Amino acid sequence: MKIGFIGAGHMAQAIMIGLCQQKYLATSDILVHSAHKSSYEPFAAEHGLTAMPSNAALVKQSDIVILAVPAKQTLAVVADLQAEFDAKQPIVVSVAGGVSLAQLQENLDSTSLSIIRAMPNVNVAIGQGMTALVTGEATRAADLTQIEQLFQALGDITPLAEKDFAVFGALAGSAPAYAYLFIDALSRAGVKYGLDKAVATKITAQTVLGSAANVAASDTNPWALIDQVSSPGGTTVAGLLAMEEAGLMTAVVKGIDATIAKENEA
Ligand SMILES: NC(=O)C1=CN([C@@H]2O[C@H](COP(=O)(O)OP(=O)(O)OC[C@H]3O[C@@H](n4cnc5c(N)ncnc54)[C@H](O)[C@@H]3O)[C@@H](O)[C@H]2O)C=CC1
Ligand SMILES: O=C(O)[C@@H]1CCC=N1
């Protein structure tokens, strides 16, 4: 089996690194091409992947094609490759935010291809991803199973109605950036009080990691866990109230509103 990546940017690289680390397939069976030689050729050489000279050459040899180009370019890229898709009939997986199955289907001009829309996040690189999947009309069950297994090897997966992709994109696709922001804000506060930034970042990353694991393992909701940390008359509740006065929860929800609004513009 060969998996071809069209696009070698941040998302494609995260999936490719995850597949290499999980030893999901021989690295030379990962094919890659993108618009910028300077990004994909050194990356392919570094990881032992096969660099391809064009998108068309890549599709001709791939059993699975992962489209990971900017959303605005995705439909033009697939429309250009129609002849190669028709001939090879690979499973086509698009990770482009805001590009619907109907748009993909229309631009591929195919009623027989297995088309899958996926929304992964960059944590697939370390086997801790969260990926949603939805299938096109003609997608064969065995093809969906194959793609589910691929993303399961890189973290957790969930089937999702296409109407919920924008909110999933905000809560899982974009949210690593928001989690990094929170970690950075905590560690910057440590710097304010004299800690070295690297030391503060290590402390906060481990604390957020442990807290996320606790939420995931718990059958209660985060509010109950907050109460466990907040000693009566103690420091935590003082901090929580000050964060709320500054509008932390409203700021987060407004950020998600803006993320969803942007995806719906596409
Ligand atoms: N970065 C992320 O965390 C996530 C990104 N996505 C989606 O992944 C896609 C790519 O995003 P990023 O990797 O962040 O962008 P990026 O800008 O890092 O990478 C885009 C890649 O596409 C290539 N490209 C552009 N036009 C091309 C063409 N005509 N043929 C071949 N390659 C071409 C570029 O050379 C580059 O390698 C987007 O559609 C985005 O919505 C989805 C989930 C998460
Ligand atoms: O920022 C973006 O548009 C992409 C989609 C989800 C994460 N990154």
pLDDT (0 to 100) of residue 111 = 76
Ligand 2 within 6 A of 174 CB? Answer: yes
Q: Is 102 exposed, middle or buried (0-12, 13-18, 19+ CB in 10 A)?
A: exposed
- Using CA positions, which residue lies closest to atom 23 of ligand 1? 7
Distance 6 CA to ligand 1 centre (A): 9
Nearest CA to ligand 1 atom 32: 34
For the segment(s) 3-160, the CATH number from 3.90.1530.10, 3.40.50.1400, 3.40.50.12160, 3.40.50.720 is: 3.40.50.720
Distance CA 127, CA 54 (A): 29
120 lines ligand 2 (CB under 6 A): no
pLDDT of residue 110: 75
pLDDT number for residue 19: 98
pLDDT of residue 137: 85
Distance (Å) from CA 240 to ligand 1 centroid: 38
Q: Single out the residue of 74, 84, 87 nearest to residue 54, CA to CA.
A: 84
**With a 6 A CB cut-off, is 35 part of the ligand 1 pocket?**
yes
Q: Whose CA is nearest to atom 19 of ligand 1?
A: 9
- Give me ligand 1 centre to Cα 169, in Å: 15
CB of 78 sitting under 6 A from ligand 1:
no
In this prediction, residue 112 carries a pLDDT of 86
19 versus 137: which is more confidently predicted?
19
Percent of the chain scoring above 70 in pLDDT: 100
Nearest CA to ligand 2 atom 5: 97
Task: Please state, in angstroms and rounded to a whole number, the distance separating the CA atoms of residues 189 and 203.
Answer: 12
Q: Residue 179: its pLDDT value, please?
A: 98
Cβ of 7 closer than 6 Å to ligand 2, yes or no, is no
Question: How do residues 81-135 score in pLDDT, each as one tens digit?
Answer: 999 999 999 999 999 999 999 999 999 877 789 999 999 999 999 999 999 999 9
Residue 145: per-residue pLDDT = 97
Tell me the CA–centroid distance for residue 122 and ligand 2, in Å.
10
Residue 10 and residue 122 in contact, taking contact as beta carbons nearer than 8 Å: yes
pLDDT of residue 108: 87
Question: Ligand 1 pocket: which of 34, 77, 93 to mutate (most atoms <8 Å of CB)?
Answer: 34
Q: How close is the Cα of 241 to the center of ligand 2, in Å?
A: 32
CB atoms closer than 10 angstroms to residue 228: 11
Q: What is the CA radius of gyration of the chain?
A: 21
Q: What is the pLDDT of residue 109?
A: 77
Tell me what pLDDT residue 258 has: 98
Ligand 1 and 125: CB distance under 6 A: no
Nearest ligand, CA 7: 1
pLDDT band at 39 (very low <50, low <70, confident <90, very high): confident
Residue 124 Cα, ligand 2 centroid: separation in angstroms? 14
Domain with CATH 3.40.50.720 in the chain: 3-160
pLDDT digits over 206-262, tens only? 999 999 999 999 999 999 999 999 999 999 999 999 999 999 999 999 999 999 999
Which pLDDT value is given to residue 265?
85
Q: Where does CATH 1.10.3730.10 sit in the chain?
A: 168-265
pLDDT per residue over 125-177, tens digit each? 999 999 999 998 889 999 999 999 999 999 999 999 999 999 999 999 999 99
The top-level CATH class assigned to 168-265 is mainly alpha
Q: How far apart are CA 72 and CA 57, in angstroms?
A: 22
